[in-house]
Structure 1
C-alpha cells in the first residue's frame, strides 16, 4: 500500500501527520514506513517484502504498489536484472515517460512527486489495478491506495456516500470514480491525474475500444497465437515465485491456467484448491449447471500427476466469516458476500501449505474462453447473412430456432421498451429487482433514483438482448470489475498471499479483443477458440462440457440451518434507523420465514431474494454498523 500527503501552504504539521500514515499502512502486524520528501509525507507498506519507493535521477519520488506482469521482459529491455517493481517502473518512466504504460503490463498504481513537490501525478494501470483514492481542498492533497489512510490523517471526516451505498444495492458499479465515502474520489483504471495547488485534473489514456484489430489468413493462426500468448502470460507471471497454488474449478479458465502452469514447470508440484458442497448437499439442477466440480478436477489430476488437489468444503462457515477483518482491510461492502467463505478458506489453506502465490482465471470468460455472446447482431450489421443464418441454425434445438431468431436477430435492434413489450407478448415475466435480488428499501431506491441511474449507466437489470460483442465486454469490464481493485488486493493483504491472473495478462486480453468474434463461435460451437487451444491440454470432459459450474451450490442448506438466527438478526436490525431506512428488512424476513423444505420448491423471485438479496442486505447492514463503530457484527 502507498500514500502521500502534501500541504500546499503551511507544512508545519507534516511531521505530526507522518506517523498516522505509516500506522494506517500496517500490514501483517508491521507498520508502514513514512518520510518527508519534497515537502510531502510519502508512506508505503511492506507487504510481501516488495520495495515500494524509488527515486528517479531527476529527483522525482515514486511510490508504487501492485505487480508488473511482464517483469522479465521489462528487465531485459530496460537492463535492470534484479529490479523491484518500483525500480522497474521508475526505469520505464525514465525511458518512455508518459508512454511507459504502453510498455508495462500489469496491475499497479503509482504516485509521482515531481518538480520538488509542486506537481503530483497519479496513475492506475488499465484492466486491473490496486485502488488509488484521493481527497483534496485548497490547502491539502491526500492520496492513498486505501481510504483508511486518508481518514487516519484526521483531516477528513469519514462519511458514507449514500448514493454509492444505494447504487451498490442495485448492483450498479459503473461510476468508477465514486468511492464509498463523500469527497474521497477513486482514480479510474487506465487513467492519470495531475495535482497542483490549482486542483486535480484527470485524463483517460486507455480504452478497450481503441484496441487495434488482429487479422490472420487461417483459423489455426489464431489458435497458435493465443496459445503462445497464454504460455507467455503464465511464464511471465510466475517469475519470482517458487511454490504456486491455484484456485481450481471445473471450468475452462482455471483448468487452462493449471495446465499451462504445469507444462511450464514440468515435474513441479502444483497445489490446487477447489470449493465443493457439503456432504449433505444433493444436485438438483444437473441439466444446465453443476455444483460439484470434483470430477473435473480429478480428471485433470489424472492427466498431470504433479497436480495435488484439495477439496474445500467450508464446514459450517457463514456470512460473518472473516467479514469484520475484510471490512477493516478494504473499507468496502463486498459485492458477493455469500461466496467469500470458501475464497477465504482457499487462501488460508494455500498460505498454510507454503504457497507463495495463488493463481486464478477470473478474466478468462472475457478473453480466450469468450463464448461469442453478441456475435449474431454483429454479423447482421456487417451484412454477413449467410454466417448469421448458420449460427442460428446450428445454435441449438431446431424446435427453438424461432426463439433464437427473435432473441439474437430481432431484439438487439429494438429499444429496451420495445424489447420488453415483445418479450411480454411471448410470455416473459420481469421480476422487479426490489422483489427479487436487490435488498434496497423502495423509498431509499426512489430517493436515490437507483433505477434511473442504472439505466443511464447502461447497466441492464432485466436480462435484455445483448447488442454487440464490444458492448457486452465493455459493460462487464466497466461494472463488476470496478470494485476489483479494492477487493482483490484486500484479500491479498488480509491473507498475506499475492494472487495473479494469467487470463488478465494485457497482451493476451488485447489480442483476444482484437481478433474477429467469429473465432469464438462456429456452427453453434461456443468457446470455439478455447476448445481448439486446450485440445490435448485438459481432459475431454472439460472440452465437451456445456454446463456451467455453480459457486456455493449448497447455499440453501447453509441458509436453512441458520434460519432462526437470521430472523433474529433481521428483527434486531429494524431498531437501527441507519439500516432500516435503507434495506427492506421486512421483505427479507418474510423470505426467510417462508422458506420451503426443499430448494426445488422455490419460485425464481423467492430464490433470488434468499440467495442474493439476503446476503447483500446483511453484508451492507453489517458494513453500516461497522462504520458506526459497532462491535456486534
Structure 2
C-alpha cells in the first residue's frame, strides 16, 4: 500500500508524499531503475531505523542489535556521543553512541544511491506556529476531538491493547477514552503499586500508592479489568543488564525504574497481549505543566498575569511561591542566574555538576562548545522558551525515547503505542497559548479541563502526583556491593575509565545514605547519577568485551 502511494504521489516531492502518508511507519524502498534505497520514518513514530554506509554498500535494520549482526557493520563506540548521552544532551538526533552508525529519526528520510547518502526531513515540531480561539472552552473541545481521534486510531487491531494506568491524568485519561470508545468490550489495565503495607518517604507533592484512584476509575468504567502488579525483588536485568544490551544493542539508563515496572510488563505478556498503550509523551503535549510558562511570562513582560497566576498555581501544588520565585526568574533571564552562580562559587554550566563524565574529557572534546553549537545549553539548563523546549523534547529527546522503546519492544515482545504522541495532538498543544496550561490557577489546567468529562473528580482535582518506584533506594541498596565491585573492575578497562569520572562515582558509594529519608534528599545523585553511570559503564564493558583483567 505504501509503495503504491509513493508511486502515485512522489513525482514532485518524496518528502511531501511521505508527509501525507498517515500512520506510525518505518519503510524501506528499493528503486532498481536508479539504484537508490529510500529509508523513512513517520513523524512522531514509535519506531526507528538504524543504518551504516560504506563504499561496499548500505546496511539497515530496525534495531542496533539487528544491525550489528551484519559482519560489515563496525561496532566502534563514539566517545563524543557517549559523553553527550551521559549528560542527557542530544547533539545530532541522527547520531548514535557508535561511530559510522546513524539512524533515521522521527519524521525523517534518507536516500542511499550512486551519488552517496542524502538525509532529509519530512516533518518537525514547529514552535513558531500559533493557534488562537475566541473562547477558552474552544481549546477544550478541540483537544477532546483530537484525543478521541488519536486513541481511536490505535484501537483498530483485532484485540484492544493493554493499557498501563496510574493515578495521573495522562494514562487514566487514555484508559477512560478507550473505554468510552470500546463500549462494553473489556479493556485490561495494569498498574504498578508498592507492596501491601509499605510506605515510601515522599514529599507533600506526591502520594505513595496509586491503587485507590485506579480502582475509582474502574468503578466508573466497568469494562476496565484492573490488574495491580508489585515489584518485591530485583529484576534480572537490574542485576545483569546484558539481556537488554542484546535486545536493543544500546544502554538503557533507567534500569532501576524499569525494574519497578518489570512485573507489570510480564503480566501483560502472560495475559497474551501483543501491544500496550502508554502515555509517555503527555508531559509535553496534553498535560504540560507550568514548567517554563511563568518564565515565558516574565521574559515577555506579562507581569500582571505572572503576579496573578504564579501564586495560585504554587498554592494549588502545595508549594511555597517564594521557594520557586528565584529559579523561575533565573530561567527567564539566564544571564542573571549565571552571575548568581559565579558569586556563589559555582560553575555557570549547571550540567557540569550533574554529569559523571571525566572533567578532562569534557574539555578535550569541548562538550560545552558542542552544547552551545547544537542549541542544547538552554535546553538542559531549562532556559529556553517553553514552546522551544517542548519541540526539542518531542523530536530530539523523543528520538532517544523511541530508541528505549525499541529495546523494550525487543526484550518483552510488546508493541508500545502512545496516543499522546499523535502528530495532530502534538501540533495543537504546541501552537495554543501557553497560558491555557495554567489558565485557572491550576497546574496542567488544559488536561484537567479536557478530561473532566471522562475522569472521576478525584483524579481531576488531585494536585499531587503518584509516587512511582518509591522504594528506589532499597532497590539500589541491594546492589551497593555489586556497584562497588563494578566500579573497581571498570578501572581496568580503558574505554570505561577514559569516559566515566570513576572517583566521583566511588565517592557516592563511600558516602552511602544511612536510610531512605536521607537518600530522598539526595535522590538525583543516586537514582540518576550513580545508577545511570553504572549502566553506561556496564554497557561500555560489554561493548569492549573487557573483564578488568
Q: TM-score, normalised by structure 2?
A: 0.89
Q: Does 1:363 align with 2:281?
A: yes
In structure 2, the residue matched to 1:394 is 312
Alignment length (residue pairs) = 541
Mapped to 2, the partners of 1:121 and 1:462 lie a distance apart of: 32
> Contact 2:89/2:380 (CA < 8 Å) preserved in 1?
no
Alpha-carbon contact 1:438-1:612 (below 8 Å) kept? no
Distance of 1:148 and 1:463 partners within structure 2? 29
> Matches of 2:100 and 2:106 in 1, distance apart?
19
- 2 CA distance for matches of 1:567 and 1:393? 45
Residue in 2 aligned with 1:336?
Answer: 254
C-alpha displacement at 1:454, in angstroms? 3.1
Q: Which blocks of at least 5 consecutive residues in structure 2 are unaligned?
A: none
Give the CA deviation at 1:352.
0.8
From the CA coordinates, give the structure whose radius of gyration is larger.
1
Contact 2:341 2:348 survives alignment (8 Å): no
1:45-124 counterparts in 2 under 5 A?
87=1, 89-97=2-10, 98=14, 99-124=16-41
In structure 1, distance between residues paired with 2:322 and 2:530 = 37
How far, CA to CA, are the matches of 1:289 and 1:141 in structure 2? 50
Partners in 1 of 2:414 and 2:5 — Cα distance?
A: 27
Quick check: 270-279 or 550-559, which moved more? 270-279
Choose which of 220, 226, 244 in structure 2 pairs with 1:309. 226
Please say which of residues 204-213 and 513-522 is displaced more in the overlay: 204-213
Q: Is the 8 A contact 2:202 2:467 kept in 1?
A: no
Judge conservation of contact 1:492–1:498 (CA < 8 Å) in 2.
yes
- Give 1:601 shift: 2.2
Q: Contact (CA 8 Å) 2:165, 2:171: kept in 1 or not?
A: yes
Contact 1:411 1:465 in 2 (8 A): no
2:492 to 555, 572, 575: 575
2:210 to 271, 289, 293: 293
Q: Deviations over 1:482-507 (max 9, x none)?
A: 22232212322322221211111112
Aligned to 1:13: none
1:194 aligns with 2:111: yes
Which residue, 510, 516, 521 being the options, matches 1:593?
A: 510
Contact kept? 1:361, 1:502, Cα under 8 Å: yes
Shift of 1:518: 2.3
Moved more, 388-397 or 119-128: 388-397
Contact kept, 8 Å, 1:138 with 1:197, in 2: the verdict is no
Q: How far 1:267 sits from its partner (Å)?
A: 2.0
Counterparts of 2:446 and 2:78, CA distance in 1: 43
- CA, structure 1 residues 622+465, in 2 after alignment: closer, same or farther (shift >3 Å)? closer
| Among 134, 153, 178, the residue aligned to 1:236 | 153
User: Deviations along 1:223-279, whole A, 9 cap, x unmatched?
Assistant: 111111111111111101414211111211001011001111122222222222345
**CA 1:610–1:275 in structure 2 vs 1: closer, same or farther (change >3 Å)?**
same
Contact 2:256 2:475 in 1 (8 A): no
Instruction: Name which of structure 1's ranges 261-270 and 113-122 shifts more when overlaid on structure 2.
Output: 113-122
Quote how far apart the aligned CAs of 1:324 are. 1.8
1:140 deviation in Å?
A: 1.7
Moved more, 423-432 or 319-328: 423-432
Unaligned runs of 5+ in 1: 1-86
Tell whether 2:524 aligns with 1:611.
no
- 1:298 partner SS: helix
Which one scores higher on RCO, CA 8 angstroms, separation ≥ 6?
2
| Per-residue deviation, 1:513 | 1.8
Structure-2 separation of matches of 1:136 and 1:530: 44
